[in-house]
Amino acid sequence: MTTSDGGPPVIEASRLEKRFGEFTAVAGVDFTVREGECCGLLGPNGAGKTTIVRMISCVSPVTLGDIRVFGMNVGAQPRAIKALLGICPQEDNLDPDFSVLRNLLVYARYFGIRKSEAQRRAGELLDFLQLRDREDARIRTLSGGMKRRLMIARSLINRPRLLLLDEPTTGLDPQARHLIWQRIRALKKSGTTILLTTHYMEEAAQLCDRVVFMDGGRILADGTPEAMVRENVTRDVVEISGGDETLVEALGRNGLAVEVLADRVYVYTDRGEELHRFVTENFSVEQCLLRRGTLEDVFLKLTGRELREP
């Protein structure tokens, strides 16, 4: 199989399944990731995103179907595949007994990198992730943002051709998140292929060339962020709080797509300014907000608004 740009895919999953006893975590999915692309796996807790990342990284065996990474089967050639991967898992697993720099140097040994070269690469990565001034610090003294930056630095020590980022900015403050976004963009620019899972739809919109929405172990939709918004929601969204049944009935009579929640009403339209004027001029409401449709609207439309427990 070749991708639309004519080259072989970096990741190719075919009829991929993963079961844990009677539970099916991934249910026969097919997808590809092209070279140089940043692809986002999006979905609620339990959608199967991390399970797919673990299978690609040769950590969790495939139940049925096939995954090939750089043309190699994950079950048959795990060592060769791992040598080409950089992996930043959800949970921090840095060695607390080592300093920041030592964590990088010890990890470099797994790839057979010479000590002098490991020192040079570690220094470059500490500069890249703005951790140079903490190179002698113990892990327990680092903030959450510093730990995530060090996890990303560690995942890059072998100069991977494919980087797997599993929720890399969860729990970080905006400054740390934006710094990591800057570094991911720089990696994209250098040609690194990236597979990213995230619950932040803004993050996906900022970083991803393509997104794959999942739920219940299945793929629901696949395309560029712009195409996903265009195909699944309207250009504009009007959010209304404090409206009554009269307002909802009036919106319905106009043939508008209306979603009524306990505390607000969402109206989906391509004529947002006109609708905003109609509401504010004819009804007494607490707030009427006009905004563009986003990936978060797509996420909620495809997967629902019910709270998901991990």
Tens digit of each residue's pLDDT (9 = 90 or more) over 108-151 = 999 999 999 999 999 999 999 999 999 999 999 999 999 999 99
The mean pLDDT of the chain is: 92
Model confidence at 310: pLDDT above 80: no
Q: How many domains does the chain have?
A: 2
Q: Could you tell me if 123 and 239 lie in one domain?
A: no
Q: Could you tell me if 130 and 260 lie in one domain?
A: no
The Cα 149–Cα 165 span in angstroms is 12
In order of 28, 46, 158, 191, 254, the CA distances from 110 in angstroms are: 33, 31, 9, 24, 64
Q: Could you tell me if 258 and 126 lie in one domain?
A: no
- The answer to whether residues 210 and 37 touch, using CB atoms and an 8 Å cutoff, is yes
The mean pLDDT value for 194-222 works out to: 96
The mean pLDDT value for 214-232 works out to: 95
| 20 within domain boundaries | yes
Helix pair 115-128, 144-155: axis angle to 10 deg: 140
| 140 within domain boundaries | yes
The pLDDT value recorded for residue 80 is 96
In order of 159, 197, 214, 290, the CA distances from 222 in angstroms are: 28, 14, 9, 27
Burial group, residue 105, by CB count within 10 angstroms (0-12, 13-18, 19+): middle
Domain that holds residue 154: 11-224
| 189 within domain boundaries | yes
The pLDDT value recorded for residue 64 is 96
| 245 within domain boundaries | yes
Burial group, residue 53, by CB count within 10 angstroms (0-12, 13-18, 19+): buried
